[in-house]
């Protein structure tokens, strides 16, 4: 009989079993909906930061990830010195396809990174009203030719730390001028109250330029004018500034080692109780007042010094985030930046770390000021800045200054010869810009 003799395939075709239909539908559902959902990986954003910053930011980055499960942030730990980090970024950008999505920028890199087209223009992403809540110097430091490339997450300003216990005991008021600071130091060194008077950063790196703009401003001088390209490094005020720093070494107010010290070396020496005064950034406050520090509860801060009759100022530093032009995930990177730079996150971050806000209101916030009583004073320091010139070629200009300052500090050149050479090279650099 035909039915009995028909091949099995023919029989199946005639009556597709329900089970097969069900299996087929299930497979389709799995393939189209369930599998993609299961295998969809979160977007990974890569962010390079200095080691000490990563430790501070990690909990807030994790908090962001918990609230945004579609995004992961891969934190890459870099070295301490700002120019070493800048070199890492620069070589990554020059190679073409930067592995970094979120760029943690020092205030002095913005013109260079923006001019090179390495970072995205963020101007239209943030309302002017929101921007006006930040310290204006920090916002301006994020602009290049009127466009915004960086949202500030931390302010920084050079300041004077001093041993209030020693000064109080000696009945001496904190100094306002370099000259007073030098004579107080020598006086108390002679009495055996302190080993060293003043610690500053004299190593050949970006920190020496930052330190020097303050002394330069303190003697009424200037480095370079970013608009007129005028250079002031060989003017008498600039030479006096170098001479003053050299004199701290020759009169043993400062240890000879300052010519090789960066921020950390000077902090550690101050923290071990060996100096009366220190020039450094605000990050020192929390570490110097931590358990185990010899100067815990014995220190105070003051705005940066100036010479008699001069105004002076603190070098404005600070960090902020931008987005790499080559990032494949700019939208997600912006979400992360918005979260991490919100006032609410920053408030928690500051309470946790004792670092310096970029929002003005946080300096006088009740809870913050109760925990860090020096913050309202700090606001004055941050709002009276001495700027490093915002040039696209800032890295080269700073490199010139660093080399000649180092030559002068270590006695390889006289202050005058060194500053004349620094000025002439800087003029060549800026001249070639003017002609380009
Ligand atoms: C701090 C400042 C930065 C400066 C650097 C120099 O990190 O925030 O602006 O360039 O010190 O060492």
Q: Give the pLDDT confidence of 327-361 residue by residue, as tens digits.
A: 999 999 999 999 999 999 999 999 988 889 999 99
Whether 35 has a pLDDT exceeding 70, the answer reads no
Residues 151 and 276 in one domain: no
Is 91 domain-assigned? yes
Q: Look at the block and give the residue holding tokens 């606001």.
A: 379
Residues 170 and 246 in one domain: yes
Q: Which residues surround ligand 1 with Cβ inside 6 Å?
A: 82, 106-108, 156, 206-207, 210, 263, 281, 317-319
CB-facing half-sphere around the CA of 390: CA atoms within 13 A: 22
Residues 244 and 263 in one domain: yes
Is 34 domain-assigned? no
Residue 104 sits in a domain whose CATH number is 3.40.190.10
Task: Give me the pLDDT at residue 433, please.
Answer: 63
**Which ligand 1 atom lies nearest to the CA of residue 81?**
12
**Which ligand 1 atom lies nearest to the CA of residue 50?**
7
Question: Which residue CA neighbors atom 2 of ligand 1 most closely?
Answer: 317
Angle, helix 330-340 to helix 51-67, in steps of 10 degrees: 100
Write down which residue in 333, 357, 379 finishes a domain: 379
Burial class (CB in 10 A: 0-12, 13-18, 19+), 180: middle
Handedness of CA 13, 16, 20, 26 (dihedral sign): positive
Residues 183 and 120 in one domain: no
Compute, in angstroms, the gap from residue 3 CA to the centroid of ligand 1.
Answer: 90
Q: Give the tens place of pLDDT for each residue, 371-415.
A: 988 888 888 888 878 999 998 899 999 999 999 999 999 999 999
Residues 299 and 354 in one domain: no
Is 61 domain-assigned? yes
**Which ligand 1 atom lies nearest to the CA of residue 209?**
6
> Which two three-digit tokens encode residue 177?
């001028």
Compute, in angstroms, the gap from residue 430 CA to the centroid of ligand 1.
Answer: 23
Residues 133 and 197 in one domain: no
Residues 279 and 141 in one domain: no
Dist CA 235 CA 237 (whole Å)? 5
Q: Give the tens place of pLDDT for each residue, 215-244.
A: 999 999 999 999 899 999 999 999 999 999
Residues 74 and 116 in one domain: yes
Question: Which residue CA neighbors atom 3 of ligand 1 most closely?
Answer: 317
Is 400 domain-assigned? yes
Whether 53 has a pLDDT exceeding 90, the answer reads no
> Which two three-digit tokens encode residue 224?
């370079």
Dist CA 103 CA 153 (whole Å)? 12
Question: Which residue CA neighbors atom 12 of ligand 1 most closely?
Answer: 207
Is 3 domain-assigned? no
Is 188 domain-assigned? yes
Is 70 domain-assigned? yes
Backbone torsions φ then ψ of 316, nearest 5 degrees: -85, 115
Residues 204 and 298 in one domain: yes
Residues 133 and 214 in one domain: no
Compute, in angstroms, the gap from residue 318 CA to the centroid of ligand 1.
Answer: 7
Compute, in angstroms, the gap from residue 113 CA to the centroid of ligand 1.
Answer: 16
Question: Which residue CA neighbors atom 6 of ligand 1 most closely?
Answer: 207
Write down which residue in 379, 401, 420 finishes a domain: 379
Residues 265 and 370 in one domain: no
Pocket test for ligand 1, best of 105, 110, 206 (most atoms within 8 A of CB): 206
Q: Look at the block and give the residue holding tokens 């609230």.
A: 67
In this structure, are residues 316 and 304 in contact, taking their beta carbons and an 8 Å threshold?
A: no
Residues 232 and 296 in one domain: yes
Compute, in angstroms, the gap from residue 156 CA to the centroid of ligand 1.
Answer: 7
Question: Which residue CA neighbors atom 4 of ligand 1 most closely?
Answer: 317
Compute, in angstroms, the gap from residue 82 CA to the centroid of ligand 1.
Answer: 6
In this structure, are residues 278 and 97 in contact, taking their beta carbons and an 8 Å threshold?
A: no
**Which ligand 1 atom lies nearest to the CA of residue 210?**
6
Average pLDDT in the 305-315 region? Answer: 91
Is 422 domain-assigned? yes
Q: Which structural domain range is residue 232 located in?
A: 159-313+393-435
Note the pTM of the prediction, 2 decimals.
Answer: 0.85
Dist CA 424 CA 356 (whole Å)? 37
Task: Give me the pLDDT at residue 241, please.
Answer: 98
Pocket test for ligand 1, best of 50, 81, 82 (most atoms within 8 A of CB): 82
* Gyration radius from the chain CA atoms: 29
Q: Give the tens place of pLDDT for each residue, 102-147.
A: 999 999 999 999 999 999 999 999 999 999 999 999 999 999 999 9
Overall number of domains in the chain: 2
Question: Which residue CA neighbors atom 11 of ligand 1 most closely?
Answer: 207
Compute, in angstroms, the gap from residue 213 CA to the centroid of ligand 1.
Answer: 12
> Which two three-digit tokens encode residue 350?
């500051």
Task: Give me the pLDDT at residue 370, please.
Answer: 94
Write down which residue in 357, 379, 401 finishes a domain: 379
């Amino acid at each position: 009989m035909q039915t009995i003799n028909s091949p099995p395939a023919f029989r199946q075709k005639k009556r597709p079993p329900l089970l097969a239909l069900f299996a087929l539908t299930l497979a389709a559902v799995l393939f189209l909906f369930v599998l993609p959902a299961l295998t969809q990986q979160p977007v990974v954003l890569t962010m390079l930061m200095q080691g000490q910053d990563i430790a501070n930011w990690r909990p807030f980055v994790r908090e962001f990830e918990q609230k945004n499960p579609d995004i992961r942030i891969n934190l890459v730990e870099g070295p301490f010195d700002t120019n070493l980090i800048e070199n890492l970024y620069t070589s990554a950008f020059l190679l073409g396809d930067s592995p970094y999505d979120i760029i943690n920028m020092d205030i002095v890199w913005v013109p260079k990174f923006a001019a090179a087209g390495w970072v995205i223009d963020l101007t239209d992403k943030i309302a002017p009203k929101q921007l006006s809540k930040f310290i204006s110097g920090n916002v301006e430091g994020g602009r290049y030719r009127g466009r915004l490339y960086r949202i500030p997450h931390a302010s920084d300003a050079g300041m004077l730390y001093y041993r209030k216990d020693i000064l109080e005991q000696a009945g001496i008021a904190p100094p306002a001028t370099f000259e007073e600071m030098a004579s107080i130091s020598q006086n108390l060194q002679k009495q055996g109250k302190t080993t060293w008077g003043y610690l500053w950063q004299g190593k050949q790196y970006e920190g020496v330029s930052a330190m020097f703009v303050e002394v330069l401003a303190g003697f009424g001088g200037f480095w370079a004018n970013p608009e007129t390209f005028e250079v002031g490094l060989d003017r008498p005020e600039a030479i006096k500034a170098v001479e003053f720093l050299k004199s701290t070494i020759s009169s043993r107010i400062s240890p000879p080692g300052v010519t090789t010290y960066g921020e950390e070396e000077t902090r550690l020496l101050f923290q071990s109780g060996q100096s009366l005064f220190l020039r450094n950034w605000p990050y020192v406050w929390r570490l110097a007042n931590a358990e185990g520090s010899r100067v815990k509860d014995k220190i105070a801060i003051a705005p940066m010094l100036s010479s008699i009759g001069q105004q002076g100022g603190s070098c404005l530093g600070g960090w902020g985030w931008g987005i790499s032009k080559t990032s494949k995930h700019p939208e997600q990177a912006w979400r992360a930046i918005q979260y991490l730079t919100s006032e609410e996150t920053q408030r928690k971050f500051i309470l946790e770390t004792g670092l310096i806000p970029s929002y003005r209101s946080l300096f006088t916030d009740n809870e913050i000021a109760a925990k860090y009583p020096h913050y309202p004073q700090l606001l004055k320091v941050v709002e009276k800045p001495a700027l490093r010139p915002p040039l696209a070629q800032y890295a080269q200009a700073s490199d010139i200054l660093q080399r000649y300052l180092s030559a002068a500090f270590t006695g390889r050149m006289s202050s005058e010869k060194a500053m004349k050479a620094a000025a002439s090279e800087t003029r060549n650099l800026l001249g070639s810009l003017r002609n380009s």
